[in-house]
């Protein structure tokens, strides 16, 4: 018990240490300015923790007044220092020595901007920095900012420093200063601008960016002109009163705007011709550097306006904090790719939403065909399982069985209900842009009801065909062979596997995840196909043209362009349903597949194998409820994942989800029958 008590105390102290701070009287014991750099840096870091102490409670208490408790503490510190001139001198000397001995370029140039040339390199670098933070003895100002400004509120209170506090900070730093140029901040800013522009020029003139620009390249590129104009502006102190200097500034700002427009051109090219994560990462890094150049230049030019210093400091704090986030980097780099995948899914999903009565019955008929094919899939699965192959070949044959069945359903123009939600959700999400108006909201609700009705029609059609076809095949097997295709023990096991009291509902949710994952894989492969111009590779392949002829090669290339997404979705789903649980089994997670149509088919085969006594078995009736619930969870999980991904790919910060859900619920309450059957 003593051991557990000690461990608990250590854990409590560890959690409390995150926001721990030193008392002010201890902080007033200031290290000498000749002490080791780590000691001086640590003192400043502890001072920042003292300023931030209990900031969350104070922020909530002062939120209505718009006050920052850090400002009050800073004023209190200045009052104490006014009464202790010896301590004030030591603080001023320490701050000056820290600014002098720490490299400023690391903060002004690199802080918050990706330092690695590739996306994956930057991901691993950020993970490493999260696990192994930099030591305080590293002579870089970026390290000091990263270790000292760790609160989510830090950038805000620094940004809102008033003129009086900024003046007091300036006076403290220069208190009894021997030399007027102890720290040449403006020279560092100018040097940082030159370094950032060299990075921007290298990225902007690289092949991955240059080849995606519309017309401008080489010496006519804005990235090429940026460096020369910067030299004219930064070679001496700012001369804002001179007309020639103002003309140089205008040209520089025009070229900066042209650089931003070039970045937009790259995005437009990626949008039309496939998204490259590395290129998106490169352009995002370039845009961050362009924004940093603008901010640094404004501070350098308007050096008499102290508020620009607080704005620059706040921006650096924000970017340093954002630079620590792996999630933020992934969101920035994958946003465009995510949108392309969603748009591709939405194009496919529109075909799966029936609006009128004619489309509804057409959807129902297509789902009947899908159910018939799944019935054959069920018996092929029984046959493969009964052949006694080793696990590797059995899984391979089962995956081919599933993939082949799904492809047959697709190209026969039939439907499988559970594959639809991952495609229809993005199509529904496209309507969210217009939900601010009543007309747009009504259109969203109408489309939502159409989608639910289409799902219901597909599931009913699949079940209405798979169950009787499976029963008919099982009866034929009994008539010909004398015995059913499965033993009574295995049949009882199938009943138990779909029972809602087993793990069936968890497995159904896992299956819904795989259904969504297959649609994501399809979108990624479709993007890869377009990005690398595989259609043209096939069309102009010399050997294919010699063997099959140019017209056939062109037709084949077009067929793959039209169907690559479909083939990828169905093949990946077939293999995921088999190898997904197998992979998780390797790491000790016992997952299984529960797909409503396949489960219903196996359930029907098991019921016939047990004979008429099955109607007296409680597991039979529980199993019926079970596979219906499996279908609901399959659709719900797959749709939710796809819908949330579609929401994430769109810039909808003001989206009121409760308003949307309330409107859909009101429609269902007033006219629930419309979910099952189309209105007249």
DSSP codes joined into one string, 59-99: HHHHTTTT--HHHHHHHHHHHHHHH-HHHHHHHHHHHHHHH
Same domain, 281 and 224: yes
* pLDDT of 337 over the 70 cut: no
* pLDDT of 679 over the 70 cut: no
The set of residues, in sequence order, having a beta carbon less than 8 Å from that of 260 and lying 6+ positions away, is 287, 290
Residue 363, in any domain of the structure:
yes
Residue 679, in any domain of the structure:
no
Same domain, 363 and 252: no
- What does the pLDDT look like over 59-105, one tens digit per residue? 444 444 447 888 999 999 999 999 988 899 999 999 889 988 888 88
The residue with greater pLDDT, 449 or 171, is 171
Over residues 18-32, the mean pLDDT reads 81
Residue 223, in any domain of the structure:
yes
CATH number of the domain bearing residue 658: 1.20.1080.10
- pLDDT attached to residue 403: 92
Q: Which residues lie across from 140 on neighbouring strands?
A: 103
> Could you write out the DSSP letters of every residue in 200-264?
HHHHHTSHHHHTTSSS--GGGSHHHHHHHHHHHHHSSS--TT-HHHHHHHHHHHHHHHHHHHHHH
Residue 15, in any domain of the structure:
no
Residue 250, in any domain of the structure:
yes
The Cα 260–Cα 334 span in angstroms is 20
Residue 4, in any domain of the structure:
no
The Cα 590–Cα 585 span in angstroms is 5
Give the confidence band of 299 by pLDDT, cuts at 50, 70, 90: confident
Over residues 310-334, the mean pLDDT reads 74
The Cα 338–Cα 524 span in angstroms is 9
- pLDDT attached to residue 575: 93
Residue 141, in any domain of the structure:
no
Of all residues in the chain, what percent carry a pLDDT higher than 70?
83
- pLDDT attached to residue 63: 43
Over residues 272-292, the mean pLDDT reads 82
Is residue 183 within 8 Å of 219, Cβ to Cβ?
A: no
Same domain, 41 and 62: yes
Same domain, 416 and 505: yes
- pLDDT attached to residue 428: 65
Same domain, 441 and 344: yes
Q: How many domains, in total, are found in the chain?
A: 3
Phi/psi of residue 140, each to 5°?
-140, 130
The Cα 321–Cα 58 span in angstroms is 22
Domain boundary among 279, 298, 324: 324
pTM here? 0.69
- What does the pLDDT look like over 214-259, one tens digit per residue? 765 556 788 888 888 888 888 878 888 888 888 888 999 898 998 8
* pLDDT of 36 over the 80 cut: yes
- pLDDT attached to residue 424: 65
Same domain, 342 and 390: yes
The Cα 292–Cα 298 span in angstroms is 10
Same domain, 267 and 283: yes
* pLDDT of 328 over the 70 cut: no
Over residues 280-299, the mean pLDDT reads 87
Domain boundary among 257, 289, 324: 324
Same domain, 175 and 265: no
- pLDDT mean across residues, the chain: 81
Same domain, 370 and 381: yes
- pLDDT attached to residue 330: 64
| Sign of the CA dihedral with 415 first, then 418, 424, and 428 last | positive
The Cα 666–Cα 441 span in angstroms is 12
The Cα 551–Cα 557 span in angstroms is 10
Please tell me what DSSP assigns to residue 107: I
Phi/psi of residue 132, each to 5°?
-125, 90
The Cα 679–Cα 139 span in angstroms is 72
Q: Which residues lie across from 103 on neighbouring strands?
A: 140
Nearest to 622 by CA among 494, 469, 506: 494
- Name which of 19-23, 134-138, 281-285, 561-565 the model is least confident about: 19-23
* pLDDT of 58 over the 50 cut: no
- pLDDT attached to residue 40: 92
Same domain, 504 and 575: yes
Is residue 138 within 8 Å of 50, Cβ to Cβ?
A: no
Please tell me what DSSP assigns to residue 30: P
Q: Where are the alpha helices (DSSP H) in 277-420?
A: 277-301, 307-323, 326-349, 357-386, 391-411
Over residues 346-353, the mean pLDDT reads 60
For 435, the domain range is: 338-673
Same domain, 29 and 75: yes
Is residue 576 within 8 Å of 352, Cβ to Cβ?
A: no
- pLDDT attached to residue 57: 46
Residue 10, in any domain of the structure:
no
Give the confidence band of 397 by pLDDT, cuts at 50, 70, 90: very high
Give the confidence band of 316 by pLDDT, cuts at 50, 70, 90: confident
- What does the pLDDT look like over 429-449, one tens digit per residue? 666 667 777 787 788 777 777
- What does the pLDDT look like over 356-386, one tens digit per residue? 778 778 888 888 998 899 999 988 988 898 8
- pLDDT attached to residue 182: 46
Same domain, 268 and 355: no
């Amino acid at each position: 018990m003593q051991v557990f008590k000690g461990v608990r105390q250590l854990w409590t102290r560890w959690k409390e240490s995150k926001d721990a701070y030193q008392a002010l009287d201890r902080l007033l014991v200031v290290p000498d300015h000749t002490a080791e750099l780590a000691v001086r840096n640590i003192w400043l870091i502890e001072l920042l923790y003292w300023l931030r102490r209990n900031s969350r409670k104070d922020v909530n208490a002062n939120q209505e007044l718009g006050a920052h408790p850090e400002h009050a503490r800073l004023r209190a510190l200045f009052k104490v220092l006014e009464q202790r001139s010896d301590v004030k001198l030591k603080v001023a000397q320490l701050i000056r020595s820290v600014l002098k001995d720490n490299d400023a370029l690391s903060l002004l140039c690199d802080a918050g901007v990706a330092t690695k040339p590739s996306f994956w390199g930057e991901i691993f670098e950020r993970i490493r920095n999260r696990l192994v933070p930099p030591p305080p003895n590293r002579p870089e100002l970026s390290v000091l900012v990263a270790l000292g400004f760790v609160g989510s509120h830090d950038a805000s209170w620094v940004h809102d420093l008033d003129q009086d506090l900024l003046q007091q900070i300036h006076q403290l730093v220069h208190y009894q200063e021997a030399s007027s140029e102890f720290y040449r901040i403006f020279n560092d800013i100018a040097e940082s601008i030159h370094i950032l522009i060299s990075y921007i020029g290298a990225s902007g003139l690289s092949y991955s960016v240059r080849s995606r620009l519309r017309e401008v390249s080489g010496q006519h590129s804005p990235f090429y002109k940026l460096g020369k104009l910067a030299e004219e502006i930064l070679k001496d102190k700012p001369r804002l009163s001179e007309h020639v200097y103002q003309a140089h500034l205008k040209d520089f700002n025009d070229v900066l705007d042209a650089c931003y427009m070039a970045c937009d051109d790259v995005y437009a090219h990626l949008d039309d011709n496939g998204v490259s994560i590395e290129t998106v990462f490169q352009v995002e890094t370039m845009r961050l550097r362009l924004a940093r150049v603008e901010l640094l230049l404004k501070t350098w030019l308007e050096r008499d306006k102290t508020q620009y210093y607080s704005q620059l400091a706040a921006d650096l704090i924000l970017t340093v904090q954002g630079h620590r986030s792996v999630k933020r980097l992934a969101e920035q780099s994958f946003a465009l790719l995510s949108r392309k995948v969603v748009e591709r899914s939405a194009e496919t999903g529109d075909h799966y939403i029936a609006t009128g009565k004619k489309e509804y019955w057409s959807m129902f008929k297509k789902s009947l065909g899908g159910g018939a094919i799944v019935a054959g899939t069920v018996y092929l699965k029984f046959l493969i399982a009964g052949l006694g192959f080793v696990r590797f070949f059995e899984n391979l044959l089962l995956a081919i069985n599933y993939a082949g069945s799904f492809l047959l359903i697709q190209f026969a123009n039939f439907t499988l209900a559970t594959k639809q939600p991952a495609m229809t959700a993005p199509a529904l999400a496209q309507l969210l842009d217009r939900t601010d108006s009543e007309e747009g909201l009504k259109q969203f609700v109408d489309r939502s009801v159409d989608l639910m009705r289409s799902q219901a029609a597909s599931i009913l059609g699949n079940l209405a065909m798979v169950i009787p076809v499976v029963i008919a095949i099982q009866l034929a097997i009994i008539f010909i062979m004398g015995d059913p295709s499965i033993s009574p023990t295995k049949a009882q096991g199938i009943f138990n596997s779909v029972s809602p009291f087993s793990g069936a509902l968890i497995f159904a949710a896992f299956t819904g995840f795989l259904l969504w994952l297959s649609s994501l894989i399809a979108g990624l492969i479709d993007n890869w196909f377009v990005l690398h111009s595989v259609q043209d590779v096939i069309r102009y392949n010399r050997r294919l043209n010699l063997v099959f002829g140019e017209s056939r090669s062109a037709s084949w290339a077009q067929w793959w362009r039209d169907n690559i997404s479909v083939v990828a979705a169905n093949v990946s789903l077939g293999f995921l349903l088999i190898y997904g649980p197998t992979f998780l089994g390797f790491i000790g997670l016992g997952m299984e597949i529960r797909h409503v149509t396949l489960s219903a088919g196996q359930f029907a085969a098991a019921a016939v194998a047990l004979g008429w006594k099955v109607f007296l078995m409680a597991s039979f009736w529980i199993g019926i409820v079970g596979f219906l619930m499996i279908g609901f969870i399959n659709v719900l999980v797959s749709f939710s994942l796809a819908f949330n991904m579609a929401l994430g790919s769109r810039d909808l910060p003001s989206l009121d989800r409760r308003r949307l859900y309330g409107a859909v619920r009101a429609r269902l309450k007033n006219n629930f029958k419309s979910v099952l059957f189309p209105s007249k």
